[in-house]
Structure 1
Amino acid sequence: MAFIQCDFYSDVLGLSSSMYVILPQNAQSQIGMTSKATQTKHKTLYLLHGLSDDHTIWLRRTSIERYVASLGLAVVMPAVNRSFYSNMASGGGDYWTFISEELPALARSFFPLSDRREDNFVAGLSMGGYGAFKLALNKPEQYAAAASLSGALDISSFENHAPADFKRIFGSAEAANALPNDLFLAAQTLKESGQPIPSLYQYCGTEDFLYDANVKFRGHAQELGLPLTYVEAPGDHQWSYWDEYIQHVLEWLPLGE
């Protein structure tokens, strides 16, 4: 595998930003690893961080590089600060426009990444789980599948949990409850649009403080008939579970040959 730290200037954010990128590599002699790469543009997983973390966290807290080595899958891990993958009401940056439009274009200009819908996936934990479903439900033409691990999927519960962050990010309940921010509305709008719906994978621990929000979203998705794989198990909000379940997500992704 090739690991790259990429620092770049974002026109959308008006500042320098960073991402970590894992690229597939054909290698026969890496000790303890089987590597795979294709001769074409790479299938890509955009892997999103949580509220208290940054683009380095998945490499520091999991073995994601080892997990994807045999899959021929590129992984793009961007930094979005404490933005909830949203255009900030406080003027702190248009992170939704950045993550949904600018980042994929920049990543593909730097690296040989496929732009085909069937080759692109997104996953994340906590705030990043929200970001993953936000991208999939609002940009279904870009992603074939999305996974949320312990996702903050109900913005109304986030308002109750962190009112200062909520106001800084969304400004008002009205803005949070509108597209693209409200995942419940985004799911319903997508279903009614008749567009292809990305496959969804949702995990949450039964002792997680976000469990009720996850159960609520599961019910909504099932009522709409969305293609949702839902998994729950004993556990709370910590990396031992996310390290385990990102491996399940990789097994679930429709990677094909």
Structure 2
Amino acid sequence: MALFSCNFFSEALGLTTSMTVILPQTTRAQIGMDTLSGGSKHPTLYLLHGLSDDHTIWLRRTSIERYVAPLGLAVVMPAVHRSFYTDMAYGGKYWTFVSEELPALARSFFPLSDRREDNYVAGLSMGGYGAFKLGLSCPNRFAAAASLSGVADVAGGKTRFPQDFEAIFGSEPVEGSRHDLFALASGLPGSSQASPQLFQCCGTEDFLYRENLRLRDHLKELQLPVTYEEEPGSHEWGYWDRKIQRVLEWLPLPAREAGV
């Protein structure tokens, strides 16, 4: 595998920002790595960080590079700060950045596929919210979206992080808006036929567990294609390290879908 630390200018944000990228590399002599590179344009996982972290955290807390090596899967990990993947009321246009500019720039820099069936998004906590927001808002671009211990009910964040909430959403009502995962799921045209595959998990001791249950039930009521898993666990990296491996097993990779 090849690892890139990429600094670049964002027109959407008006500043220089960063992403970390893992690319498949077929090797014969690398010790301890089972690697695969399956073509000129790589299937891609956009992997999103949580509220208190940055684009380096998945590499620092998990073995994500080793986990994706045998899959021929590229991984793009952008920095979005404490933005909730949103065009902030008092801050940067991080939704425009992550939903429009980032994929276009990443594909201009690296050999990444633009086919829907080759693109996936996953994240933890705030990043789990961002992953489902991307999957439900842009279902024509992503074949799958995975939320690990995700913030399922973002409107509830007003009491958990009031200063961030004001900077992100201002006075705009969140419930029922384009920021609300429940509303986004309800608004999918054609319901399950239009949705990406969804994976949702949360530890039973996590402070976000109850709201994840409510979102799970909502998705099932809409008959959306959701795989839900729970097990003992809290809001911590031991849990997320295990579950990102499960997400990678679950992803509908083209070779896997073709039975190769």
Alpha-carbon contact 1:140-1:195 (below 8 Å) kept: no
The CA distance in 2 between the partners of 1:77 and 1:110, in whole Å, is: 14
Contact map agreement 1:48 1:77 (CA 8 A) in 2: yes
Runs of 4+ in 1 over 4 A off after TM superposition: 191-195
Structure 2: runs of 5 or more not aligned: 256-260
For 1:180 and 1:95, how far apart are their aligned partners in 2?
14
Distance 1:234 1:193 in 2: 31
Q: Is the 8 A contact 2:191 2:223 kept in 1?
A: no
State the 1:120 CA deviation.
0.0
**Equivalent residue for 1:8?**
8
- Whichever residue aligns with residue 171 of structure 1, its letter is G
Correspondence 1:1-257 to 2 at 5 A: 1-90=1-90, 92-172=91-171, 174=173, 176-192=174-190, 196-257=194-255
Q: Distance in 2 between matches of 1:77 and 1:208?
A: 24
Structure 1: which 5+ residue stretches go unaligned?
none
* SS across alignment from 2:44: strand
| TM-score, normalization by structure 2 | 0.96
Maintained 8 Å contact 1:45/1:121: yes
Is contact 1:124-1:132 (8 Å) kept? yes
Identity %: 65
**SS in structure 2 opposite 1:157?**
helix
Shift of 1:160: 2.0
Cα 1:228/1:194, change in 2 over 3 Å: closer
Secondary structure of 1:70's aligned partner = helix
Deviations 1:189-230 (A, max 9, x none): 015568621000001001100001101100100110010000
- Would the alpha carbon gap of residues 222 and 26 (structure 1) be closer, same or farther in structure 2, given more than 3 Å must change? same
**1:39 counterpart letter in structure 2:** G
RMSD: 1.2
Deviations 1:123-165 (A, max 9, x none): 0000000000000000001000000000001012211211221
> Which 10-residue stretch deviates more, 176-185 or 52-61?
176-185
Please give the secondary structure, in 1, of the residue aligned with 2:254.
coil
Counterparts of 1:153 and 1:171, CA distance in 2: 19
Q: How many residue pairs are counted as aligned between the two chains?
A: 255
| Mean Cα deviation higher: 154-163 or 122-131 | 154-163
Work out the CA distance in 1 between the residues paired with 2:129 and 2:168: 14
Maintained 8 Å contact 1:148/1:203:
yes
Q: Secondary structure at the match of 2:27?
A: coil
